[in-house]
């Protein structure tokens, strides 16, 4: 997991060489890679991580070299695959006054150093950044690159890790006040070797939750306490429970985007990607893609996605469950938008549309807030006019109910317009 004492000494010698402070970064990285093979990248990274964390690299220039080396060890791979990516982003994100919980106070970098590191990660031509020297970086004036997208992707990746792996702390307590830097090379080396090269390195020891399990009871046989009792089950007395949804193929990318859509609004790019995957899906989608009780969250956060997903599920045996949820959920602009889109793309059961219209009218009549009532009445009137003009519903089936609704809210312009449309249809002078 770590280097030998001799290798740690060599690594410290390279970091302590002040000549590298006036040379380009790529010269320092090249010297590291000449001495250590690629197979040692992770071991080097672990040592450098602990050098930084425990103030072995005590000067700002050496710390900058250390963080840069952690980035360059895995150059050529995606940054999120770098095992030290979380630490690197934490260093860049840490505030200038006090470090975050995961970063010791001695690792708080200046704005120019953070800006340089962010450009080194995000730049399409990192070799241009590596031509600078550590001293030049101290006066780097470019604005810091926004790495929020990388941070979100990394957080999603870390969610898949078991809680027992994520929740642990180092056995070392951070210093509350800055200690005097160790300038003696032998003292620094002895400390680093003691930290990382013992049979059980102190730097690797952590406190973490224990996975406690109950001890299973011993089975005592009839002939003695050491005998095991064999239990032979009669399978004829038991029915097989078969879950026919097992093996149903749900594309992983689609599943992740749907789960994300349940929690909040998707970006335009994410929405287009999900709609494209739904459009290109040739096999019938099963209801395991979205359980009916999750539909209200999707409708309120992403109505366009909800209508498209329901369109793909229209042939599902459980489509009536989704319709029932639409009828029982709280009426809103988004729920009307979803139903309106569905009426223009698929054939919906007439009884569902009639019940939905009745729910809309009932919601308007029982609403206490006058402002919200007027707003919802306008939306319902526009929604009903769309259904009538597109011949989605037979207005005669709901004529009395809709007419009474229009009369009750005749003070609202849209209700009066809907009433005139009903009269035109009744006399045959309007659209039929």
In a domain, 289, yes or no: yes
d(CA 327, CA 221): 60
With 0.85 as the threshold, say if the pTM is over it.
no
Average model confidence (pLDDT) across the chain: 80
- Domain assignment present for residue 228? The answer is no
Residue 223 lies in a domain: no
Q: In which band, very low, low, confident or very high, does the pLDDT at 427 lie, cut at 50, 70 and 90?
A: confident
Regarding whether 72 and 195 lie in a shared domain, the answer is yes
- Give residue 362's domain range: 352-432
The predicted-structure confidence for 299-322, as pLDDT tens digits, reads as follows 999 999 899 888 888 888 888 888
Above 50 in pLDDT, residue 390? yes
How much is the average pLDDT of 29-37? 90
The residues near 419 (Cβ < 8 Å, ≥ 6 apart) are 403, 406, 407, 410
pLDDT category at 262 given cuts 50, 70, 90 is confident
Q: Based on the domain organization, do 338 and 357 belong to the same domain?
A: no
DSSP-derived secondary structure for 323-381: HHHHHHSPP-HHHHHHHHHHHHHS---HHHHHHHHHHHHHHHHH---HHHHHHHHHHHH
Query: Same structural domain for residues 330 and 379?
Result: no
Q: Is the pLDDT of residue 340 over 50?
A: yes
User: Residue 162 pLDDT more than 80?
Assistant: no
Sort residue 55 into left (φ over 0), alpha (ψ -120 to 50) or beta. Answer: left
Spell out the alpha helix ranges (H) of 123-180: 126-130, 134-137, 148-158, 163-166
Of the candidate ranges 300-304, 388-392, 419-423, 425-429, the one whose mean pLDDT is the lowest: 425-429
Q: How confident is the model at residue 432 (pLDDT cuts 50, 70, 90)?
A: very low
Total domains, the chain:
3
**Range from 75-79, 100-104, 203-207, 387-391 carrying the lowest mean pLDDT:** 100-104
Q: pLDDT exceeding 90 applies to what percent of the chain? A: 7
Residues 157 and 258 in one domain: no
On whether both 305 and 356 belong to a single domain, the answer is no
Q: Would you say residue 230 lies in a domain?
A: no
Q: Does a structural domain hold residue 154?
A: yes
Residue 32 in contact with residue 61, Cβ under 8 Å?
no
Contact (Cβ atoms closer than 8 angstroms) between residue 15 and residue 44: no
Q: What is the rounded CA–CA span in Å between residue 136 and residue 113?
A: 10
Question: 206: part of which helix (H) or strand (E)?
Answer: strand 206-207
Closest to 60 measured CA to CA, from 138, 132, 174: 138
Rounded Cα distance between 132 and 136, Å, is: 6
Tokens of 150: 């990388």
H/E segment holding residue 170: strand 169-170
**Quick one: 266 and 188 in the same domain?**
no
Of 206, 224, 242, the residue that ends a domain is: 206
DSSP string of 39-108, one letter each residue: GGHHHHHHHHHHHHHTTSS-SHHHHHHHHHHHHHTTTTS-GGGSTTHHHHHHHHHS-SSS--TTS-GGG-
The answer to whether residues 168 and 130 belong to one domain is yes
pLDDT tens, position by position, 17-29: 888 888 999 999 9
User: Does 308 share its domain with 366?
Assistant: no
Q: What is the pLDDT of residue 1?
A: 59
d(CA 271, CA 306): 11
Last residue of a domain, one of 304, 323, 348: 348
What mean pLDDT do residues 255-273 have? 86
**363 lies in some domain:** yes
Question: 76 with 145, same domain?
Answer: yes
Of residues 274 and 177, the one with the higher pLDDT is 274
Give the integer Cα–Cα distance in Å for 13 and 56.
Answer: 12
Confidence (pLDDT) at 98: 47
What pLDDT is attached to residue 77? 86
Whole-number pLDDT of residue 70: 92
CA of residue 117 relative to chain centroid, distance: 24
Q: Among 206, 225, 259, where does a domain finish?
A: 206
95 and 159 in a common domain: yes
Share of the chain above pLDDT 70, in %: 81
Q: What pLDDT, on a 0 to 100 scale, did the predictor assign at position 293?
A: 86
The answer as to whether 212 is a domain residue is no
Residue 153 sits in the same domain as residue 101: yes
Q: Is residue 238 part of a domain?
A: no
Where on the phi/psi map is residue 247: left (φ > 0), alpha (ψ -120 to 50), or beta?
left
pLDDT at 252: 61
pLDDT higher than 50, residue 99: no
> Where is pLDDT greater, at 93 or 162?
93
Looking at the fold, whether 408 and 276 belong to one and the same domain comes out as: no
Checking if the pLDDT of 205 tops 70, the result is yes
């Amino acid at each position: 997991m770590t280097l030998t004492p001799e290798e740690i000494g060599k690594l410290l010698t390279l970091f302590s060489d002040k000549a590298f402070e006036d040379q380009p970064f790529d010269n320092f990285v090249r010297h590291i890679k000449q001495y250590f093979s690629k197979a040692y990248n992770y071991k080097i990274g672990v040592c450098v991580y602990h050098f930084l964390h425990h103030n072995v690299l005590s000067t700002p220039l050496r710390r900058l070299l250390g963080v840069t080396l952690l980035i360059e060890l895995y150059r050529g791979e995606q940054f999120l695959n770098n095992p030290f990516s979380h630490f690197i982003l934490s260093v860049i994100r840490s505030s200038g006054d006090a470090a975050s919980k995961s970063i010791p106070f001695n690792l708080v970098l200046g704005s120019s150093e953070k800006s340089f590191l962010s450009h080194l990660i995000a730049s399409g031509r990192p070799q241009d950044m590596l031509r600078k020297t550590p001293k030049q970086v101290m006066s780097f004036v470019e604005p810091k690159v926004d790495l929020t997208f990388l941070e979100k992707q990394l957080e999603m990746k870390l969610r898949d890790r078991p809680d027992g792996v994520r929740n642990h702390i180092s056995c070392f307590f951070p210093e509350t006040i800055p200690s005097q830097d160790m300038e003696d090379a032998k003292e620094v080396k002895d400390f680093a070797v003691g930290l990382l090269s013992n049979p059980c390195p102190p730097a690797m020891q952590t406190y973490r939750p224990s996975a406690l399990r109950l001890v299973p009871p011993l089975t005592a046989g009839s002939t003695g306490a050491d005998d095991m009792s064999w239990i032979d089950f009669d399978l004829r007395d038991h029915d097989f429970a078969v879950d026919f949804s097992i093996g149903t193929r749900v594309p992983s990318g689609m599943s992740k985007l749907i789960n994300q859509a349940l929690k909040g609004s998707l970006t335009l790019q994410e929405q287009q990607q999900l709609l494209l995957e739904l459009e290109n899906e040739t096999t019938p989608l099963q209801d395991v893609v979205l359980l009916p009780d999750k539909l209200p969250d999707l409708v309120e956060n992403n109505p366009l996605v909800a209508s498209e997903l329901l369109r793909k599920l229209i042939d599902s045996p459980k489509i009536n469950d989704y319709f029932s949820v639409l009828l029982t959920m709280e009426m809103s602009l988004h729920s009307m938008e979803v139903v309106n889109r569905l009426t223009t793309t698929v054939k919906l059961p007439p009884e569902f549309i009639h019940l939905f219209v009745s729910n809309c009218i009932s919601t308007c009549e029982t609403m206490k807030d006058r402002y919200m009532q007027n707003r919802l009445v306008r939306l319902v009137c526009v929604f009903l006019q769309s259904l009538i003009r597109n011949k989605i519903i037979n207005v005669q089936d709901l004529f009395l109910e809709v007419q009474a609704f229009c009369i009750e809210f005749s003070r609202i312009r849209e209700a009066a317009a809907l009433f005139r449309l009903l009269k035109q249809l009744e006399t045959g002078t309007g659209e039929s």
